[in-house]
Amino acid sequence: MKITQQHIADLNKVQDATYQAELGLLEAKLGRKGINLQDVINKVAQFQVAIPSWALGAGGTRFGRFSYGGEPSTLEQKLDDIGLIHALTKSAGAVSLHIPWDIPQDYKAIKELAQSHDILFDAVNSNTFQDQAGAKNSYKFGSLCSSVDASREQAVQHNLEVIKIGDQLGSKSLTVWLADGSNFPGQRNFQTGLIHTEDSLKKIYAGMPDDWKLFIEYKPYEPNFYSTVIQDWGTSFMLANACGERAYTLVDLGHHLPNTNIEQIVATLMYKGKLGGFHFNDSKYGDDDLTVGSIKPYALFLIFNELVYGMQNNPQNPYPAWMIDASHNIKDPLEDLIQSLEAIRIAYATALLVDQDALKAAQLDNDVALCQELLQDAYRTDVRAILKAARIQSGAVADPIAAYRSLAVRSALINERGTASKATGL
Ligand SMILES: [Mn+2]
């Protein structure tokens, strides 16, 4: 299944009669705030989010997994699926690979395939949260933090191997997420675990090419339920500082305890120039991995408000690497990813509409009510016509979900790959 220029042209022939009127209204409204509509459309069109290779099949819980037909079972098919999403949305122009599941057999062919879909290789991810077949040492009691020298060394070597693979594909960063921690009080010496982790990360950092970045992810609990070694942004920030200039903290929206003020974490990290990467998802209770924006869209807007502020005011912070990190337990994974991409761009677009000068003045005046008015005026603006304009201008379809359904993409994938094909990496 490949979506052609002709498909897109045919789909975009049917124009929504209200779309131009909506754009005209937005142009007038934004003009009053001194915001140029076309500038916003261009920024939204440029905003690209990486798709992780593990997100293209049905996810699951420890109670079961209900597979979707036509899932990609090879790296080539995973790239093809991202190619489909990117053709429809022009907002998913990158892939984030997970090793050992996605080791290419033929690097040249994989690079050419990605190029044919207009997809770049973003951060590569290592996996030391489970034992691989034939592995000499176990990660049952930790990987980079392990008190067993051989397990720790094996985990460091794995990360160095992942860097080598990513380097051959054109990736420029490594994301490390650790499941390391403990399930019961007294099980692990906190300080020893932290010291081992810092030493291991320093070895990995030293093994990166000079133009690479290291992203250190944190998570308060799960799969360990008493403690995790890198439990919060402060620990990640401390480890990143210990490693060096090109080590950064990575924020995953689902990796916080309920009600954590994530937008403030974003602001602090960007001020310090240490926000390297960002993983999008949404949650009600914990690390639920739900569709972005499906539960707490206002929180997402507030986070984007800080991201936009940081991108405009913190040259010390590099442009962050964006990725969706969600699980699709009951929806078609490709439809779910399209919905997440839409939600991310909506939050970005609305954050671009915040009248920053007026907000700054209201903050200096301590006009609390006006500050809220200014934020909510942006948040309550319906920006979907802006997203549509960004897509049409980029050669994507006006309405990706409707297009996905009218092209019967899932049926075509099931016809090609069968109902039993399962994605690896879940
Ligand atoms: Mn993540």
> What average pLDDT values come out for the chain (426 residues) when binned by 10 residues?
94 87 96 96 98 92 86 96 98 97 96 98 97 96 97 98 98 98 97 98 98 98 97 98 98 97 98 98 95 98 98 98 94 97 98 96 98 98 98 97 97 94 72
In a domain, 308, yes or no: yes
* Spacing, Cα 371 to ligand 1 middle (Å): 32
Whole-number Å distance between alpha carbons of 233 and 217 = 8
**Residue 39: predicted pLDDT:** 98
* Spacing, Cα 98 to ligand 1 middle (Å): 12
State the pTM of this model. Answer: 0.97
**Residue 15: predicted pLDDT:** 72
**Residue 61: predicted pLDDT:** 84
In a domain, 4, yes or no: no
**Residue 299: predicted pLDDT:** 98
Q: Which residues contact 179 (CB under 8 A, 6 or more apart)?
A: 128, 129, 139, 143, 223, 224, 228
* Spacing, Cα 107 to ligand 1 middle (Å): 26
By CB atoms closer than 10 A (0-12, 13-18, 19+), residue 10 is: middle
* Spacing, Cα 175 to ligand 1 middle (Å): 9
* Spacing, Cα 87 to ligand 1 middle (Å): 25
Q: Which residues contact 146 (CB under 8 A, 6 or more apart)?
A: 139, 152, 155, 180, 196
In a domain, 40, yes or no: no
Nearest to 277 by CA among 217, 206, 237, 347: 217
**Residue 133: predicted pLDDT:** 92
From residue 208, how far is each of 100, 195, 214 by CA, in Å?
A: 18, 20, 8
Nearest to 247 by CA among 210, 216, 208: 216
* Spacing, Cα 217 to ligand 1 middle (Å): 7
Neighbouring-strand partners of residue 278: 251, 322
* Spacing, Cα 60 to ligand 1 middle (Å): 16
Q: How many CA atoms lie within 13 A of 302 on its CB side?
A: 14
* Spacing, Cα 340 to ligand 1 middle (Å): 15
In a domain, 397, yes or no: no
Q: How many CA atoms lie within 13 A of 70 on its CB side?
A: 15
In a domain, 375, yes or no: no
Q: Tell me which H or E stretch contains 251.
A: strand 247-252
**Residue 139: predicted pLDDT:** 97
* Spacing, Cα 271 to ligand 1 middle (Å): 22
In a domain, 72, yes or no: yes
Instruction: Please give the residue range of the domain that contains residue 84.
Output: 47-354
Domain total of the chain: 1
Residues with CB under 5 A from ligand 1 (ion): 252, 279, 325
In a domain, 304, yes or no: yes
* Spacing, Cα 292 to ligand 1 middle (Å): 13
* Spacing, Cα 177 to ligand 1 middle (Å): 7
165-177 core/surface letters (b: 16 or more CB in 10 A; e: else): bbbebebbbbbbb
* Spacing, Cα 126 to ligand 1 middle (Å): 12
Whole-number Å distance between alpha carbons of 230 and 242 = 14
Whole-number Å distance between alpha carbons of 353 and 304 = 11
In a domain, 327, yes or no: yes
* Spacing, Cα 287 to ligand 1 middle (Å): 9
The CATH number that applies at residue 241 is: 3.20.20.150
* Spacing, Cα 7 to ligand 1 middle (Å): 34
* Spacing, Cα 394 to ligand 1 middle (Å): 28
350-374 core/surface letters (b: 16 or more CB in 10 A; e: else): bbbbbbbebbeebeeeeeeeebeeb
**Residue 17: predicted pLDDT:** 80
